[in-house]
A and B are shown apart, each in its own frame.
Chain A
Amino acid sequence: MRAASLKPLARLMGRELLMTFFLLIGVSVVVFVILYLAPGDPFSVLLEGEMPTEAAREGIRQAMGVPTTWYSQYFAWLGKMLVGDFGTSIRTGMPVLPELLRVGWNTLVLTGGAMLVTLLVAVPVALYSAVRGVTLISWPLTILAYVISALPLFWLGYLVLYVAMRHFGIFPFAFASLGSEPKLIYFLLPILVLGLGSGAISEVVRHLREESSRVLDEEYVRTARAKGASVWRHAFKEGFLLPVTAIMATKVPFLIGGAIIVEQVFNWPGMGRMAWQAAQDRDYPVIMAIAIAAALLVRIGTLVQRVVYVTVNPRASQE
């Protein structure tokens, strides 16, 4: 049994990883082309606003060994990337990868925590309304969840900041207070803001409520009840696990997008802030690395969902 169900999983992983590879190549091409076509270049950063002559530019290019055509630039980058070298930042001159891993971890904490907040709020509301139907409790809760989801993230972020500073005297900047021990609240506020404001709550509530109330009405769940077994034990896979992983997988890109805003507002040193800074500087190696990392995160979300689906669904795992 076990061995039989592991084999399709391995096959799935192989296929998905191969697809991920091509997807990332595709993403890098698109991002690179957009960057190349966009106005501005790293020179203005390097020269701190001084306008060099065309001859001086060419001199710098040659001194730095920059290939002349866009595709030779791209393939030079790709060649190095494939062996794990993401190059050095034009702005700081530091290697990109260690820095990316450091801020990537921060972003992971932020988005992962936000995901948890989203689920902690949305799941009880969804399940309560699925079990009880529309009641005096579930109706306002659902409305509240929708309203919170509809708030613009930057507005919610600044509002929370304002209230925290003005009325509670806390400066919830995650890493701003140098020297002093970072307090838990500095981490919690941005995570709460992203978790509540990313718009995922209403989607989870709606999707999970529909799915779980549908499954609770399924005949096999009635059988479970009729045999005196736990209803949720039988309804869990189709009525909870599958819808939650499906909806969260589709929400990963939105969470990452939201993270950029929240990181700006709360000065959270994550990938979003790094991307923002790099985009202003036209720091090509950094932008490219972040694009790859973001695409990878989105891909991982989908992969988790696929793995759960195949593991849970007996047809998918045995055929």
Chain B
Amino acid sequence: MSASLLKIDNLRTYFYSRSKRAFIRSVDGVSLAINRGETLGIVGESGCGKSVTALSVMGLITATPGVITGRIDFANGTLHRNLLDGLDQSVRLSEEEGRIMDVVKDSGAWQRQSDRLQRGVRGGEIAMIFQNPKASMNPFEPVGAQIVEAVRLHTEHTGKKEAEQRALHWLERVRIDSPRLRFHNHPYGLSGGMCQRAMIAMALAAEPSLLIADEPTTGLDATIQSKIVDLLAELKAEIGITTLLISHDMGVIGRLADRVAVMYGGRVVEEGGAQQVLAGGEGNHPYTRALIASIPGAAEVRQKSYLQAIEGDVLDTINIPAGCRFYERCNRVTEAVRERCADCEPQLFDAGSGQRVRCWLFAP
């Protein structure tokens, strides 16, 4: 096995819409690898499949008509597991003239198999934090008890007193103020920022080898956002935990990520070192450039000038065009490539030093 802790290979997560008789292809052939100790950032607009990718890894796609194929290999120490092993056996597609007419899914068997594969991995080896931290904590239980539960489930500190000590330690570690008081508080008594700190404490308390942070700063006040990012940066430096960071916020990605994958329309359109990808210049995918150009600088805010938005809407993942998925919105199409862009989807072309770009402009 390579150094990759998590290797996602050709992941497809589709949701079948009975009313439209079509698949919503939220994640459509994504391959990613996260190496030990690094932070991989995934960026893209809402609806690009970032979160669905993370939820697929965690086995949290519970919507009944969800179909997941591909491989998700998790390897740590003696534990090697394909988290999607055998799931396809509980799905049957009925086709008519080559079109998929219906999906018959034995969701019970699916769920059981998924839960079996996730045992010991979900929550223990891979922990996750979410956006909207206040709603993500159980409102009926004190914050401390929820962290204690994670400690007792996944670490050797199973004794009650010992687990409480650990939980308190983690609350102190995430720099929540008056941790002893918060330990006994219910989530309603905490602010959004405190809740996210508690969520981070709860995730790390399980001593996971991979942390998935799904939009960890979204929905928080701007000042709180930067404090949470500071905390994550600090924990990264101290613990060196491998992280999959999902955000639409280029600033957050820029501060934390070592490598970045840009997603559009359920696919990775660019992947590479954070510096190269976030350069947002000639060497980048037109979508990445547009994303970076749309970040308002301080000067623009001061002058109250219009923000640069990307024309058009995020790709509708039901009717996917034959050509490049970004073609409709792309403003860098040259006459030399126009025909190919419209008719044929590009693959990920090598752009040097580990960077890969899904754009015909980069074709050798």
Contact B139 A314 (CB under 8 A): yes
CA–CA, A57 to B64, complex, Å? 76
Contact B186 A223 (CB under 8 A): no
- Segment of B21-29, B129-137, B288-296 in the binding face: B129-137
> Can you name the residue of chain A whose Cβ is closest to the Cβ of B58?
A226
Number of CB contacts from chain A to chain B under 8 A: 72
Interface string of B85-125 (1 = CB under 8 A from A): 00000000000000000000001100000000011101110
**Which of A220, A237, A238, A315 is the one whose CB lies under 8 Å from B136?**
A220
* Count, chain B residues at interface, CB 8 A: 34
A132-B107, A132-B108, A315-B188 known; A227+B137 contact, CB < 8 A: no
**Which of A133, A219, A228, A314 is the one whose CB lies under 8 Å from B123?**
A228
B45 contacts A by Cβ under 8 Å: no
Interface string of A206-224 (1 = CB under 8 A from B): 0000000000001110111
Contact A227 B123 (CB under 8 A): yes
CA–CA, A191 to B262, complex, Å? 64
B206 contacts A by Cβ under 8 Å: yes
A interface secondary structure, majority: helix
A222-B130, A315-B186, A315-B188 known; A228+B124 contact, CB < 8 A: yes
B127 contacts A by Cβ under 8 Å: yes
Q: Give, as a whole number of angstroms, the nearest-CB distance from A309 to chain B.
A: 12
Q: Which residues of B contact A313 (CB under 8 A)?
A: 140
Q: Which residues of A contact B199 (CB under 8 A)?
A: 223
Contact B140 A222 (CB under 8 A): no
A1 contacts B by Cβ under 8 Å: yes
Q: Which residues of A contact B60 (CB under 8 A)?
A: 222, 225-226
Contact A227 B140 (CB under 8 A): no
Q: Give, as a whole number of angstroms, the nearest-CB distance from A286 to chain B.
A: 46
B202 contacts A by Cβ under 8 Å: yes
Interface string of B53-90 (1 = CB under 8 A from A): 00000101000100000000000000000000000000
Contact A314 B188 (CB under 8 A): yes
- Segment of B148-156, B168-176, B221-229, B339-347 in the binding face: B148-156
A229 contacts B by Cβ under 8 Å: yes
Contact B128 A228 (CB under 8 A): no
Contact B138 A234 (CB under 8 A): yes
B332 contacts A by Cβ under 8 Å: no
Contact A228 B130 (CB under 8 A): no
Q: Give, as a whole number of angstroms, the nearest-CB distance from B196 to chain A.
A: 12
CA–CA, A219 to B139, complex, Å? 11
Q: Give, as a whole number of angstroms, the nearest-CB distance from B83 to chain A.
A: 13
Q: Which of B145-170 contact A (CB under 8 A)?
A: 149-150, 153-154
CA–CA, A140 to B106, complex, Å? 18
> Can you name the residue of chain B whose Cβ is closest to the Cβ of A4?
B184
Q: Which residues of B contact A227 (CB under 8 A)?
A: 122-123, 127-128, 149-150, 153, 202-203, 206
Q: Which residues of B contact A318 (CB under 8 A)?
A: 186
A132-B108, A227-B149, A314-B140 known; A218+B135 contact, CB < 8 A: yes
CA–CA, A1 to B118, complex, Å? 36
CA–CA, A313 to B188, complex, Å? 11
Contact A228 B132 (CB under 8 A): no
Contact B137 A220 (CB under 8 A): yes
Contact B137 A229 (CB under 8 A): no
CA–CA, A222 to B119, complex, Å? 16
> Can you name the residue of chain B whose Cβ is closest to the Cβ of A229?
B149
A312 contacts B by Cβ under 8 Å: yes
> Can you name the residue of chain A whose Cβ is closest to the Cβ of B154?
A228
CA–CA, A84 to B328, complex, Å? 84
Q: Give, as a whole number of angstroms, the nearest-CB distance from B321 to chain A.
A: 32
Contact B122 A226 (CB under 8 A): yes
Which of A227, A229, A234: most chain B CB closer than 10 A? A227
Q: Give, as a whole number of angstroms, the nearest-CB distance from A23 to chain B.
A: 30
> Can you name the residue of chain B whose Cβ is closest to the Cβ of A222?
B60
Q: Give, as a whole number of angstroms, the nearest-CB distance from B227 to chain A.
A: 21
Q: Give, as a whole number of angstroms, the nearest-CB distance from A209 to chain B.
A: 15
Q: Give, as a whole number of angstroms, the nearest-CB distance from B302 to chain A.
A: 37
**Which of B118, B137, B206 is the one whose CB lies under 8 Å from A223?**
B137
CA–CA, A229 to B150, complex, Å? 8
CA–CA, A235 to B56, complex, Å? 22
Q: Which residues of A contact B153 (CB under 8 A)?
A: 227-229
Contact A223 B138 (CB under 8 A): yes
Q: Which residues of B contact A132 (CB under 8 A)?
A: 64, 107-108
**Which of B120, B128, B139, B142 is the one whose CB lies under 8 Å from A226?**
B128
Interface string of A127-157 (1 = CB under 8 A from B): 0000011000000000000000000000000
> Can you name the residue of chain A whose Cβ is closest to the Cβ of B128?
A226
CA–CA, A132 to B186, complex, Å? 31
New A-B contacts (17) at CB < 8 Å, excluding given A219-B136, A226-B130, A238-B139: A132-B107, A133-B107, A219-B132, A220-B135, A220-B136, A220-B137, A223-B137, A225-B60, A225-B122, A227-B122, A227-B128, A227-B150, A227-B153, A228-B124, A228-B206, A229-B150, A315-B186
10 nearest A-B pairs in the assembled complex, by CB-CB distance? A228-B123, A227-B123, A314-B186, A219-B135, A226-B128, A220-B138, A223-B136, A219-B136, A237-B140, A228-B122
8 contacts between A and B (CB under 8 A): A225-B122, A226-B60, A227-B127, A228-B122, A229-B149, A229-B153, A312-B140, A314-B186
